[in-house]
Amino acid sequence: MASALRKIDLIDTAPAFTQADADRLNARFAGVETLTMLRALFAEGILGNTAVVSSFGTESAVLLHLMARADPATPVIFVDTLRMFPETLAYRDTLLAAFGLRNGHTITPDPLVLAEKDAQRLRWSYDPDGCCAIRKVEPLARAKAGLDSWISGRKAFQSHTRQNIARFEVEDGRLKVNPLGDWVKADLDAYFAEHDLPRHPLEVDGYASVGCQPCTSKVLPGEDPRAGRWRGWDKTECGIHVPEKPGEEPVF
């Protein structure tokens, strides 16, 4: 089917959530079932101008299905780095249509920056951090500029860098919600089975975590689910979940 995504053009605002707000929300929703929590957040307007950010990877269907049950009008932002697997793009269209998520948006890298910084499309091979910065981090920062909050699919079990994820965090005054932070793989698998959710086409081939095509490889039995991302590099995150340090310049 044709892509249901549109270009997103959000106007910059100044989010004003504090760590105290996140602490109160973490206390209020401790132990509350995920869908119940999401429905309460939307019913009470707690999140303000919000969106869910999805990579449409191997586990993305769970959060997107929950979002469709909580509020199907919620914007869904997808960063197309222009180096994605064709299977991921097809999976994106499948999930949006299947779940009735009618407010999908896509954001892409700045073509002028790509022409200047990655004209040969090989930056991934010698500077993966820089490649992620221009193809994923900057486009998503642009998309989040008009948001008060955003919803992430991070889960603590995915890697050692994601342990102890709180349901609510604050980054630069913007509330970040991690509804599946305390879910484990068994929880995800049970949800997939209960709701008969479509699986990512590459999962059956051994891709436990799917990102950009050049930097994603199959995962061997017993490996960390994200071991196939940037294999051979001392890198486990693309950068969108790593807040910039004060005074630090973006790696463009």
| Residue with tokens 């068994």, as numbered in its chain | 186
Residues 6+ apart with CB under 8 A from 89: 3, 80
Backbone angles phi, psi at 170, to 5 degrees: -130, 130
Residue written as token pair 């303000």:
48
Residue 238 a catalytic site member: yes
3-state secondary structure the chain: CCCCCEECCCCCCCCCCCHHHHHHHHHHCCCCCHHHHHHHHHHCCCCCCCCEECCCCCCHHHHHHHHHHHCCCCCEEEECCCCECHHHHHHHHHHHHHHCCCCEEEECCCHHHHHHHCCCCCHHHHCHHHHHHHHHHHHHHHHHCCCCEEECCCCHHHCHHHCCCCCEEEECCEEEECCCCCCCHHHHHHHHHHHCCCCCCCHHHCCCCCCEHHHECCCCCCCCCCCCECCCCCCCCCCCCCCCCCCCCCCC
Q: Choose the catalytic residue: 131, 212, 215, 238.
A: 238
Active site residue ranges:
238
